[in-house]
Structure 1
Amino acid sequence: MASPRMGTGGCSRSGWFRFRYDEDQETPTDTRNVLLIVVALIAAVTFQAGVNPPGGVWQDNAGGHKAGRAIYADQKPAFYVFLIANTLALSTAILILISLTYKFPFNLEIWIATLSMFATYASAIFAIAPDESIRFRYVLCAAGVPFGIQMMKKLYQWSMRSK
Protein backbone atom coordinates (compact mmCIF):
# COMPACT_ATOMS: atom_id res chain seq x y z
CA MET A 1 0.00 0.00 0.00
CA ALA A 2 1.27 3.46 -0.77
CA SER A 3 2.49 5.48 2.17
CA PRO A 4 0.07 8.13 3.42
CA ARG A 5 0.72 11.76 2.68
CA MET A 6 1.95 13.44 5.82
CA GLY A 7 0.79 16.92 6.72
CA THR A 8 2.41 19.43 8.97
CA GLY A 9 0.82 17.79 12.01
CA GLY A 10 -0.72 19.59 14.93
CA CYS A 11 -4.38 20.43 15.17
CA SER A 12 -4.59 22.52 12.03
CA ARG A 13 -7.37 21.85 9.58
CA SER A 14 -4.95 20.16 7.17
CA GLY A 15 -3.65 17.99 10.03
CA TRP A 16 -7.04 16.30 10.32
CA PHE A 17 -6.90 15.17 6.72
CA ARG A 18 -3.30 14.07 6.37
CA PHE A 19 -4.31 10.42 5.87
CA ARG A 20 -7.09 11.13 3.41
CA TYR A 21 -7.54 9.26 0.17
CA ASP A 22 -5.42 10.61 -2.68
CA GLU A 23 -6.59 9.40 -6.09
CA ASP A 24 -3.22 10.17 -7.69
CA GLN A 25 -1.24 8.23 -5.10
CA GLU A 26 -3.46 5.25 -4.19
CA THR A 27 -3.86 2.28 -6.50
CA PRO A 28 -7.34 0.84 -7.13
CA THR A 29 -6.22 -2.52 -5.70
CA ASP A 30 -5.04 -0.94 -2.46
CA THR A 31 -8.22 1.07 -2.20
CA ARG A 32 -10.37 -2.01 -2.77
CA ASN A 33 -8.43 -3.96 -0.14
CA VAL A 34 -8.85 -1.22 2.46
CA LEU A 35 -12.56 -0.93 1.66
CA LEU A 36 -12.99 -4.71 1.97
CA ILE A 37 -11.40 -4.66 5.43
CA VAL A 38 -13.50 -1.72 6.61
CA VAL A 39 -16.72 -3.19 5.21
CA ALA A 40 -15.98 -6.61 6.72
CA LEU A 41 -15.47 -4.98 10.12
CA ILE A 42 -18.71 -3.02 9.82
CA ALA A 43 -20.60 -6.16 8.78
CA ALA A 44 -19.13 -8.17 11.67
CA VAL A 45 -19.92 -5.51 14.27
CA THR A 46 -23.47 -4.89 13.07
CA PHE A 47 -24.20 -8.60 12.73
CA GLN A 48 -22.95 -9.23 16.27
CA ALA A 49 -24.97 -6.30 17.64
CA GLY A 50 -28.12 -7.63 15.98
CA VAL A 51 -27.68 -11.20 17.16
CA ASN A 52 -26.65 -10.13 20.70
CA PRO A 53 -28.55 -6.89 21.34
CA PRO A 54 -27.48 -4.40 24.00
CA GLY A 55 -28.62 -5.63 27.40
CA GLY A 56 -28.92 -9.24 26.25
CA VAL A 57 -32.10 -11.31 26.15
CA TRP A 58 -34.50 -12.48 28.83
CA GLN A 59 -33.66 -15.92 30.21
CA ASP A 60 -37.11 -16.76 31.64
CA ASN A 61 -40.82 -16.13 31.09
CA ALA A 62 -41.45 -14.40 34.43
CA GLY A 63 -42.66 -10.84 34.91
CA GLY A 64 -44.56 -10.44 31.64
CA HIS A 65 -41.64 -11.00 29.30
CA LYS A 66 -40.67 -13.91 27.07
CA ALA A 67 -37.45 -15.87 27.17
CA GLY A 68 -35.26 -15.06 24.18
CA ARG A 69 -36.68 -11.56 23.65
CA ALA A 70 -34.34 -8.58 23.85
CA ILE A 71 -34.33 -6.83 27.22
CA TYR A 72 -33.76 -3.57 25.36
CA ALA A 73 -37.05 -4.15 23.49
CA ASP A 74 -38.92 -2.88 26.57
CA GLN A 75 -37.79 0.59 25.49
CA LYS A 76 -39.66 0.33 22.20
CA PRO A 77 -38.73 3.58 20.38
CA ALA A 78 -35.05 3.29 21.29
CA PHE A 79 -34.98 -0.42 20.41
CA TYR A 80 -36.47 0.19 16.96
CA VAL A 81 -34.06 3.06 16.29
CA PHE A 82 -31.25 0.65 17.19
CA LEU A 83 -32.64 -2.12 14.96
CA ILE A 84 -33.28 0.18 12.00
CA ALA A 85 -29.86 1.85 12.19
CA ASN A 86 -28.08 -1.47 12.71
CA THR A 87 -29.94 -3.14 9.84
CA LEU A 88 -29.25 -0.18 7.56
CA ALA A 89 -25.53 -0.38 8.38
CA LEU A 90 -25.42 -4.15 7.83
CA SER A 91 -27.29 -4.06 4.52
CA THR A 92 -25.10 -1.19 3.27
CA ALA A 93 -21.98 -3.13 4.24
CA ILE A 94 -23.30 -6.22 2.48
CA LEU A 95 -24.07 -4.22 -0.68
CA ILE A 96 -20.55 -2.77 -0.71
CA LEU A 97 -19.04 -6.19 -0.01
CA ILE A 98 -20.93 -7.76 -2.90
CA SER A 99 -20.00 -4.86 -5.19
CA LEU A 100 -16.31 -5.02 -4.30
CA THR A 101 -16.10 -8.78 -4.80
CA TYR A 102 -17.92 -8.81 -8.13
CA LYS A 103 -16.06 -11.04 -10.61
CA PHE A 104 -13.73 -12.33 -7.88
CA PRO A 105 -12.91 -16.03 -7.81
CA PHE A 106 -15.57 -17.84 -5.76
CA ASN A 107 -18.02 -14.99 -6.43
CA LEU A 108 -21.01 -17.33 -6.22
CA GLU A 109 -19.79 -18.70 -2.91
CA ILE A 110 -19.33 -15.17 -1.56
CA TRP A 111 -22.92 -14.36 -2.58
CA ILE A 112 -24.25 -17.51 -0.92
CA ALA A 113 -22.31 -16.89 2.30
CA THR A 114 -23.28 -13.22 2.42
CA LEU A 115 -26.97 -13.83 1.77
CA SER A 116 -26.98 -16.68 4.29
CA MET A 117 -25.43 -14.35 6.85
CA PHE A 118 -28.14 -11.77 6.15
CA ALA A 119 -30.85 -14.45 6.49
CA THR A 120 -29.33 -15.50 9.82
CA TYR A 121 -29.36 -11.87 10.97
CA ALA A 122 -33.00 -11.48 9.91
CA SER A 123 -33.95 -14.67 11.77
CA ALA A 124 -32.13 -13.50 14.89
CA ILE A 125 -33.73 -10.07 15.01
CA PHE A 126 -37.13 -11.61 14.27
CA ALA A 127 -36.61 -13.93 17.25
CA ILE A 128 -35.54 -11.20 19.69
CA ALA A 129 -37.93 -8.43 18.57
CA PRO A 130 -41.38 -7.96 20.08
CA ASP A 131 -44.36 -9.33 18.19
CA GLU A 132 -45.42 -5.93 16.78
CA SER A 133 -45.18 -6.67 13.07
CA ILE A 134 -46.03 -3.12 11.91
CA ARG A 135 -42.88 -1.62 13.43
CA PHE A 136 -40.87 -4.64 12.35
CA ARG A 137 -41.75 -3.75 8.75
CA TYR A 138 -39.69 -0.58 9.16
CA VAL A 139 -36.68 -2.73 9.97
CA LEU A 140 -37.27 -4.80 6.83
CA CYS A 141 -37.62 -1.62 4.76
CA ALA A 142 -34.33 -0.34 6.20
CA ALA A 143 -32.65 -3.49 4.90
CA GLY A 144 -33.76 -2.64 1.38
CA VAL A 145 -32.83 1.06 1.40
CA PRO A 146 -29.20 0.70 0.20
CA PHE A 147 -30.24 -1.70 -2.55
CA GLY A 148 -33.09 0.61 -3.61
CA ILE A 149 -30.78 3.63 -3.72
CA GLN A 150 -28.25 1.70 -5.78
CA MET A 151 -30.99 0.53 -8.15
CA MET A 152 -32.32 4.07 -8.60
CA LYS A 153 -28.78 5.31 -9.23
CA LYS A 154 -28.24 2.65 -11.90
CA LEU A 155 -31.61 3.42 -13.53
CA TYR A 156 -30.76 7.12 -13.60
CA GLN A 157 -27.37 6.42 -15.19
CA TRP A 158 -29.01 4.11 -17.73
CA SER A 159 -31.66 6.70 -18.60
CA MET A 160 -29.04 9.42 -19.05
CA ARG A 161 -27.01 7.16 -21.38
CA SER A 162 -30.00 6.34 -23.56
CA LYS A 163 -30.79 10.02 -24.24
Structure 2
Amino acid sequence: MTRSQNLTLQPAQGFTLLEVLLVVAVIGMLSSLSYSSYLNFQNPARDTARAVHASLYQLRATAAANTQARRMVLNSGGQLELQRSLSCSEADQSKWFTYDTVPLPNPSVRRPVTLTRQGGAITPNVIVCYSPRGLAAIAGTLNISDTKTRYAVQAALSGGVKTSAQ
Protein backbone atom coordinates (compact mmCIF):
# COMPACT_ATOMS: atom_id res chain seq x y z
CA MET A 1 0.00 0.00 0.00
CA THR A 2 1.18 3.33 -0.81
CA ARG A 3 0.82 6.32 1.31
CA SER A 4 -1.66 8.05 -0.99
CA GLN A 5 -4.15 5.22 -0.62
CA ASN A 6 -4.36 5.62 3.20
CA LEU A 7 -5.57 9.21 3.01
CA THR A 8 -9.33 9.35 2.83
CA LEU A 9 -11.43 12.44 3.08
CA GLN A 10 -13.43 12.53 6.30
CA PRO A 11 -16.26 14.97 6.87
CA ALA A 12 -15.29 18.02 8.95
CA GLN A 13 -16.25 17.75 12.62
CA GLY A 14 -17.47 20.67 14.79
CA PHE A 15 -19.92 23.49 14.40
CA THR A 16 -20.01 26.19 11.84
CA LEU A 17 -19.89 29.81 12.86
CA LEU A 18 -23.53 30.26 11.84
CA GLU A 19 -24.69 27.41 14.11
CA VAL A 20 -22.79 28.82 17.10
CA LEU A 21 -24.21 32.31 16.57
CA LEU A 22 -27.74 30.93 16.29
CA VAL A 23 -27.42 29.00 19.57
CA VAL A 24 -25.97 32.05 21.36
CA ALA A 25 -28.84 34.22 20.08
CA VAL A 26 -31.49 31.73 21.27
CA ILE A 27 -29.85 31.44 24.70
CA GLY A 28 -29.71 35.24 24.97
CA MET A 29 -33.40 35.63 24.15
CA LEU A 30 -34.43 32.94 26.63
CA SER A 31 -32.33 34.42 29.42
CA SER A 32 -33.70 37.94 28.85
CA LEU A 33 -37.27 36.61 28.96
CA SER A 34 -36.63 34.64 32.13
CA TYR A 35 -34.96 37.62 33.83
CA SER A 36 -37.86 39.95 33.07
CA SER A 37 -40.30 37.31 34.33
CA TYR A 38 -38.25 36.96 37.50
CA LEU A 39 -38.34 40.72 38.11
CA ASN A 40 -42.12 40.74 37.69
CA PHE A 41 -42.39 37.77 40.06
CA GLN A 42 -40.69 39.70 42.84
CA ASN A 43 -43.10 41.52 45.13
CA PRO A 44 -41.24 43.46 47.84
CA ALA A 45 -44.44 44.69 49.53
CA ARG A 46 -45.79 41.14 49.85
CA ASP A 47 -42.48 39.87 51.23
CA THR A 48 -42.36 42.72 53.77
CA ALA A 49 -45.97 42.08 54.80
CA ARG A 50 -45.17 38.42 55.38
CA ALA A 51 -42.13 39.31 57.49
CA VAL A 52 -44.16 41.74 59.61
CA HIS A 53 -46.98 39.20 60.00
CA ALA A 54 -44.56 36.53 61.22
CA SER A 55 -42.86 39.01 63.57
CA LEU A 56 -46.20 39.92 65.15
CA TYR A 57 -46.94 36.27 65.86
CA GLN A 58 -43.49 35.87 67.37
CA LEU A 59 -43.92 39.07 69.39
CA ARG A 60 -47.19 37.83 70.88
CA ALA A 61 -45.68 34.45 71.78
CA THR A 62 -42.66 36.14 73.36
CA ALA A 63 -44.90 38.44 75.43
CA ALA A 64 -46.85 35.50 76.82
CA ALA A 65 -43.77 33.33 77.39
CA ASN A 66 -41.79 36.01 79.23
CA THR A 67 -44.78 37.65 80.98
CA GLN A 68 -43.68 41.06 79.78
CA ALA A 69 -45.39 43.64 77.61
CA ARG A 70 -44.01 43.67 74.09
CA ARG A 71 -44.69 46.21 71.39
CA MET A 72 -43.80 46.97 67.80
CA VAL A 73 -42.95 50.58 67.00
CA LEU A 74 -42.46 52.23 63.61
CA ASN A 75 -39.49 54.55 64.14
CA SER A 76 -38.71 57.71 62.19
CA GLY A 77 -36.28 55.84 59.93
CA GLY A 78 -39.01 53.51 58.66
CA GLN A 79 -37.76 50.52 60.64
CA LEU A 80 -39.83 48.40 62.98
CA GLU A 81 -38.43 48.11 66.50
CA LEU A 82 -39.40 45.48 69.04
CA GLN A 83 -39.53 46.82 72.60
CA ARG A 84 -40.29 45.37 76.02
CA SER A 85 -41.45 46.71 79.37
CA LEU A 86 -43.54 45.59 82.34
CA SER A 87 -46.87 46.93 81.09
CA CYS A 88 -48.43 48.34 77.93
CA SER A 89 -49.71 51.28 79.98
CA GLU A 90 -46.13 52.41 80.69
CA ALA A 91 -46.05 56.04 79.52
CA ASP A 92 -42.39 56.71 80.34
CA GLN A 93 -40.50 55.99 77.12
CA SER A 94 -37.24 55.49 79.02
CA LYS A 95 -38.70 52.32 80.58
CA TRP A 96 -39.19 50.72 77.19
CA PHE A 97 -36.13 48.73 76.09
CA THR A 98 -35.53 48.14 72.37
CA TYR A 99 -34.20 44.62 72.06
CA ASP A 100 -34.51 43.91 68.34
CA THR A 101 -35.66 45.16 64.95
CA VAL A 102 -37.84 43.33 62.47
CA PRO A 103 -35.65 41.83 59.73
CA LEU A 104 -37.26 43.10 56.54
CA PRO A 105 -36.39 41.78 53.07
CA ASN A 106 -33.80 43.68 51.08
CA PRO A 107 -35.36 46.76 49.53
CA SER A 108 -35.74 46.78 45.79
CA VAL A 109 -34.32 49.67 43.81
CA ARG A 110 -37.08 49.38 41.24
CA ARG A 111 -39.90 49.08 43.80
CA PRO A 112 -39.04 50.69 47.15
CA VAL A 113 -41.30 49.75 50.07
CA THR A 114 -42.85 52.33 52.42
CA LEU A 115 -44.34 51.59 55.83
CA THR A 116 -47.04 53.81 57.35
CA ARG A 117 -49.10 53.43 60.48
CA GLN A 118 -52.85 53.82 60.18
CA GLY A 119 -54.80 55.19 63.09
CA GLY A 120 -54.61 57.89 65.69
CA ALA A 121 -51.57 59.81 66.81
CA ILE A 122 -49.83 57.62 69.36
CA THR A 123 -46.34 58.71 70.28
CA PRO A 124 -44.24 56.84 69.43
CA ASN A 125 -45.89 55.16 66.43
CA VAL A 126 -46.96 51.98 68.21
CA ILE A 127 -48.35 49.37 65.83
CA VAL A 128 -49.36 46.92 68.54
CA CYS A 129 -48.63 46.30 72.20
CA TYR A 130 -49.16 42.81 73.59
CA SER A 131 -49.82 42.42 77.30
CA PRO A 132 -48.08 39.70 79.32
CA ARG A 133 -51.15 37.53 78.70
CA GLY A 134 -50.76 37.77 74.90
CA LEU A 135 -53.68 40.12 74.30
CA ALA A 136 -53.25 43.39 72.44
CA ALA A 137 -53.71 46.45 74.66
CA ILE A 138 -53.10 48.70 71.67
CA ALA A 139 -54.09 47.42 68.25
CA GLY A 140 -53.26 49.02 64.95
CA THR A 141 -52.70 48.63 61.25
CA LEU A 142 -49.46 48.88 59.33
CA ASN A 143 -49.77 49.78 55.65
CA ILE A 144 -47.04 48.42 53.41
CA SER A 145 -46.87 49.64 49.84
CA ASP A 146 -44.60 49.81 46.84
CA THR A 147 -45.16 51.18 43.34
CA LYS A 148 -47.50 48.34 42.32
CA THR A 149 -49.12 46.75 45.38
CA ARG A 150 -50.35 47.63 48.83
CA TYR A 151 -50.87 45.41 51.88
CA ALA A 152 -52.31 46.02 55.33
CA VAL A 153 -51.19 44.06 58.38
CA GLN A 154 -53.78 44.43 61.13
CA ALA A 155 -53.40 43.44 64.77
CA ALA A 156 -56.69 42.90 66.63
CA LEU A 157 -57.31 43.40 70.34
CA SER A 158 -57.73 39.64 70.75
CA GLY A 159 -54.12 39.24 69.62
CA GLY A 160 -54.87 37.94 66.14
CA VAL A 161 -53.04 39.15 63.05
CA LYS A 162 -54.51 39.57 59.58
CA THR A 163 -52.74 40.49 56.36
CA SER A 164 -54.75 41.61 53.35
CA ALA A 165 -54.00 43.00 49.92
CA GLN A 166 -55.61 46.32 49.15
**So what's the TM-score if we normalise by structure 2?**
0.28
The structure with the greater share of residues assigned to helix is 1
Query: Which structure: larger Rg?
Result: 2
The structure with the greater share of residues assigned to strand is 2
**So what's the TM-score if we normalise by structure 1?**
0.29
